[in-house]
Amino acid sequence: MARTEEAHETRLDDDLALLTETLEEVLKASGDPADQKYVELKAKAEQALHEVKSRVSRASDTYYYRARQAVNRADDYVHEKPWHGIGVGATVGLVLGLLLRR
């Protein structure tokens, strides 16, 4: 399931990057700069693009921070109870070995 979510996030990142590049190209290449409606629409699109980029950046930072916290908690747990960590690692290895054997 985590692999599916990771693939989905990667695809979403790629789609967002493509959309951003396309919108930036359209904003640079189209319209009559003398047309007031075009100028307003371009400003609105640029503002929306800036806001989306900012939200995506904050979301990425949040996910990174949460992942880092989880890693630190796991590290602390393994240092506090090394034999439990070894047991969990062995169990996970056994289960993965059985699944991959199929």
pTM: 0.45
Q: Give the pLDDT score at 94.
A: 92
Coil vs helix vs strand at 35: coil
- pLDDT tens-place values along the chain, 102 residues long: 445 555 556 666 777 777 777 777 776 766 666 677 777 777 777 787 777 777 777 877 888 888 889 889 888 888 888 888 888 888 989 999 999 887
Q: Give the pLDDT score at 95.
A: 93
What burial letters (b/e) apply to 34-56, b meaning 16+ CB within 10 Å? eeeeeeeebeeeeeeeeeeeeee
